[in-house]
Amino acid sequence: MGETLLELRELSKYYTSGQGVVKGVDQITLLFQAGEFVAITGESGSGKSTLAHVMGGILSYESGELYYRGRPTSHFDGGDWERYRRDCVSFISQDYGILPGSTVLANVVSALRLTGMDRAGAAVRAEEILRQVELWELRGRRAAKLSSGQKQRLAIARALAKPAPILIADEPTGNLDGENSAKVIQLLSQAAQDRLVILITHEFDEAKDFVTRHIALHDGRVTLDAKLQKPNQPQS
């Protein structure tokens, strides 16, 4: 197993609204290592997105602790969280987070340039990544014109462009048919060769042959944490 990247210790997140306090996640204790490909499942409202956004540094948490590489985050200020989101995590949301008015190629190049890569290096790496996600042929197309499956693969391409050690995808297959879902999961599985990949899904079946671990949530709590056998990965 790889290095421990994330550790949650009795972490809770509550939402306060006019109606009172709603439990998002409740006393979650979990440890995640590089090389894991983790499926997190649970019915709607069980806390999957809350957990994903807390681990992604997008949502704050109220109690407990989130450690990144052994370092507590509860005292992080705004700048620390900004750096965490920029350098440590790639987050893929169901609404893709792509630049709709830009071409496929420009979407990936801009993600690479944000990491500080020079123009020439970004051009080379963008081609590699776009071939990997099978969008190289569509590199000149505007992102808005892509199908749902292609948009989600472009979102993955942008995430892969970032050398962050953690990739979190919140229901990336929620809008996709079986064939496109399978492609997305295979790409995430490849990404897990050298990082921690966390996949939120309510379709465990589509991921079960690829993931190395299955965590289930119910009512904000962990009800299952099963290490699965690591499947053989075809060499690419």
Q: Which of 42, 56, 64, 149 binds ligand ADP (CB under 6 A)?
A: 42
Torsion 92-94-97-101 (CA) sign: positive
- The minimum distance between CB 48 and Mg ion, in angstroms, equals 5
Distances 191 to 58, 224, 230 between C-alpha atoms, Å: 22, 24, 14
Q: Of ligand ADP, Mg ion, none, which one sits near residue 46, judging by CB under 5 to 8 A according to partner kind?
A: ligand ADP
N-to-C CA span, the chain: 21
Question: 57 with 233: CB under 8 angstroms?
Answer: no
Q: Of ligand ADP, Mg ion, none, which one sits near residue 195, judging by CB under 5 to 8 A according to partner kind?
A: none
Binding mask 32-51 for Mg ion (x = CB under 5 A): ----------------xx--
Look at the block and give the residue holding tokens 């790496």: 125
User: How many angstroms separate the CA atoms of 23 and 34, rounded?
Assistant: 29
Q: Which of 7, 48, 126, 150 binds ligand ADP (CB under 6 A)?
A: 48
Picking from 118, 121, 158, 153, the residue whose alpha carbon sits closest to that of residue 138 is 153
The yes or no reply on residue 56 touching ligand ADP (CB under 6 A) is no
Q: Which of 45, 73, 148, 175 binds ligand ADP (CB under 6 A)?
A: 45
The yes or no reply on residue 44 touching ligand ADP (CB under 6 A) is yes
Closer to Mg ion at the Cβ: 49 or 181? 49
Binding positions for Mg ion, rule: CB under 5 A: 48-49
